[in-house]
Chains A and B, each alone.
Chain A
Amino acid sequence: MVGRRRLWGWAALFLAPAVILTAVFFYYPMGYILWLSVHHWNGLSPIKSFTGFAEFHHLVDESIFGLVIRNTVLFVIGTVIPSIAIGLGLALLANRPLPLRNLLRGISFAPYLVSFVSAGLAWVWMGSSGGLFDHLLGVFGVHPGNLVDDPSTALIYVIAMYTWKMAGYNMVLYLAGLQTIPHEIYEAGAIDGLKDGWTQFRTITWPMLRNSTFFVVIINLIFSFRAFSAIYVMTNGGPVNSTTTLVYYIWNLAFVQNSWGQAAAASTLLLIVVLVLTVGMVRYFTKEAFRIS
């Protein structure tokens, strides 16, 4: 009994920092956002008036809300799928005994190490009229002009920049996954006649990367949903709100328009979407795991 008490004491001591930090910086803000989403508040006033679900109604009534959702979906799909595909491709290449393998790994991962602010500014300059891309495409007779200032190209351009940044990160995750696949499986497969690269990838590599893919998909979904710096630096959500995603919109509602209730309502919406997607993914991958094994 006494030993048990002592154990509890020590357990409390060691758990306290984690519990306190999580409670203060995670559960409290989350609860506060949920509470705020049913209140009207201008960010400064001591008065926060209860409005029920009015802030959600206002949010959905905003003329740009549909556009914001469309941009968010396009941004998430447009960044997650290509950056995972390119990351996997790079990992497969970098896993081979190529002569400049380390250089390839270094070059591919370097963009991830550059901050979004620096990378975003560099891409703005490269995409301006008379910039690098204008010159390069000019060789083929195409002059795209200013890619960032054009509502028809701005979102694609931001997606391209984001994908370029994240592909190297995904490569590292997949590379780690690839190196856990025992060589014997490929040898056994070869004996069974699995000799060409595509068949090997389809029947051995891809299924064995299931856990890596699970992690990569979840982490990329979360990163893409909450992407902010790239958009803030490159386009400020414009032109004509063509790059305003849900997270950027939340920032705009809170800090530019001082509609903290609406911003909290939008945050709640984002929380629900990400939660549903993550739970869905977890269930899907867990089921898959059972089905395959």
Chain B
Amino acid sequence: MTHRMHWLVPMALTSVGSLMLAGCGGAANAASTSAAKTVSLTFEEGIQSPATQTYLQHQINAFEKSHPTIHISMQNYGAADSEIPKLESAVAAHDPPNLLWIAPAYTGQFASSGAIVQAQKYFKNTGFQASSIFTGLLNTGVYQGKVWTMPFDANDLGVYYNKTLFAKAGITSPPTTWSQFLTDAKKLTTNGTYGFEMPIGNQEWTVWIWETLLWQAGGHLLNPSRTKVTFDSPAGIDALNYWVTLMKDHVATFGPLNDAYQLGDFLSGKVAMAINGPWNYAALQQQHSVSYGAFPLPKDKIAATNIGGESLFIFNTTPAQNKAAFLFAKYVTTPAFQIGYDTGSGYLPVSVTAQDSPQYQQYLKNNPFIDVFAKEMSVGKARPPIPAYSQISADIGNAIENALYNKMSAKAALQQAAAQAQQALDSNS
């Protein structure tokens, strides 16, 4: 018996150790659910401006006051591009946040995998009026006919321009068409200054901007039933060739690789025009080196911009947490939240009532820079929130780079990308 016990000691120690390790996880889970009456939610966001974050925290405090059983803790994840890999790991480990602030283009990917909750399920019993949201924005979160993600804020793309350089070049009004844009870019290009900053790199920022040209030329990413990629159409080729021309004519220069949303080249006067969004308004107001303005993206056959902004994703956790998360998503769409948030951050409202309110209309009057982006929303289109979007985007990104670096013709590059994107679309359908 004694000898047997000797043999058992090490085994018992190992087992106890394993149990202790396993116990760590159990203890943590128990702690998070121990306060039975309060529902705790984690909210991950990537808001860059400290002022906007502070405002959001105030709003969360107000929400908690009106919903005393819900507690929300905000966590900033930094850059959105690096959040997705982290999130995939969190979902795989069954430890996602309750609420996530990110582009709705990821809706299909998360919805098809069952990681998120269908927001529409809560519309009826919480009295949420879907009609209070701009239809175009609500559609960015639609997957297989149902609303999965809730719009949080909106934005789109326009052109920033340097008023001083425009005056020097004798340009009195901003260009409205592709050909005028090219002519003006030529006029603006002098020693050390380029007319336009060309986005470069094969990641989403470049692709997101290029899609506006595709639409302006009359093209589409996919056919209406979303079963066939169509961006290699003559319109797509025209759109890519237009960028190639800007580079070949030496009136545009590449921005930082995959980072052309940064303001460095625009503020240093290296470029006179750059495509960007309304979210930099606060930063632009704080600098004094450039007299800036914005104008709508020039049109070709039609006018178009790409609707961006973020939505709230509700990750599937407990029923109580899912519902509490939806209540916050609903609160975010109220005019009170939207007006305060948007006038402070430069984002655009997602709610019709907020947009039409006298307060917000007065704000637009006083801030013509934002007014440009607000008006452009009427010609806004959105990326299809399908599961294969990330792969399709990567293929388009490669095509843009191949054409802009003269490795392939625009036509050949787009055809090659379309063949691969079609494969991705087929294997995800």
Contact = CB atoms under 8 A, between A and B. Distances in A.
Interface of A: 2, 5-6, 8-10, 12-13, 16, 40, 42-46, 58, 62-64, 148-149, 151, 235-241, 252, 255-259
B257 A149 contact: yes
Interface residues of B, number: 42
Interface in B200-239: 200-203
A239 B200 contact: yes
Nearest to A259: B391
Contact of A12 (B11, B257, B420): B11
A44 B91 contact: yes
Contact of B10 (A9, A43, A237): A9
| Across the A-B interface, the 8 shortest Cβ-Cβ residue pairs | A13-B10, A44-B113, A255-B85, A45-B113, A257-B391, A240-B401, A9-B7, A9-B10
B405 A12 contact: no
A271 B145 CA distance: 43
Contact of A9 (B9, B254, B416): B9
Contact of A239 (B6, B11, B405, B427): B405
A257 B110 CA distance: 14
Given A5-B7, A45-B112, A149-B254, A13 B13 contact: yes
Given A44-B92, A259-B424, 6 more contacts: A6-B7, A9-B7, A44-B112, A46-B114, A240-B402, A256-B84
A9 to B, nearest CB: 5
Chain B interface, >50% SS class: helix
B257 A236 contact: yes
B115 interface: yes
B14 interface: yes
Given A9-B11, A42-B112, A44-B109, A238 B201 contact: yes
A248 to B, nearest CB: 12
A5 B10 CA distance: 12
Nearest to B203: A236
A114 to B, nearest CB: 22
B394 interface: yes
A236 B420 contact: no
A54 to B, nearest CB: 9
A201 B112 CA distance: 64
Contact of A148 (B6, B84, B202, B257): B257
Chain A interface, >50% SS class: loop
Nearest to B110: A44
Given A9-B10, A256-B394, A238 B113 contact: no
15 contacts: A2-B3, A5-B3, A5-B6, A6-B6, A9-B7, A10-B10, A13-B11, A42-B109, A62-B420, A63-B398, A238-B201, A238-B258, A241-B398, A241-B401, A258-B391
B88 interface: yes
Contact of A255 (B88, B91, B200): B88
Contacts of B203: 236, 256
- Between A64, A148, A149, A240, the greatest number of chain B beta carbons within 10 A of the residue's beta carbon is seen for A240
A239 B257 contact: yes
A53 to B, nearest CB: 15
A240 B407 contact: yes
- Between A8, A44, A148, A252, the greatest number of chain B beta carbons within 10 A of the residue's beta carbon is seen for A44
Nearest to A49: B427
B76 interface: no
B193 to A, nearest CB: 14
Contacts of B115: 44
Contacts of A257: 390-391, 394, 424
A12 B113 CA distance: 42
B428 interface: yes
Given A43-B88, A240-B405, A12 B10 contact: yes
Contacts of A148: 257
B423 interface: yes
Contact of A13 (B14, B112, B387, B427): B14
A241 B202 contact: yes
A12 B7 CA distance: 10
Contacts of A12: 10-11, 14
A196 to B, nearest CB: 50
A64 B84 CA distance: 24
B277 to A, nearest CB: 21
Contacts of A58: 423
B14 A252 contact: no
Given A151-B405, A238-B258, A240-B401, A40 B7 contact: no
Contacts of B10: 9-10, 12-13
A258 B109 contact: yes
A45 B405 CA distance: 37
Nearest to A149: B257
A33 B254 CA distance: 39
Interface string B1-18: 001001111110110000
Interface string B56-70: 000000000000000
B315 to A, nearest CB: 11
B420 to A, nearest CB: 7
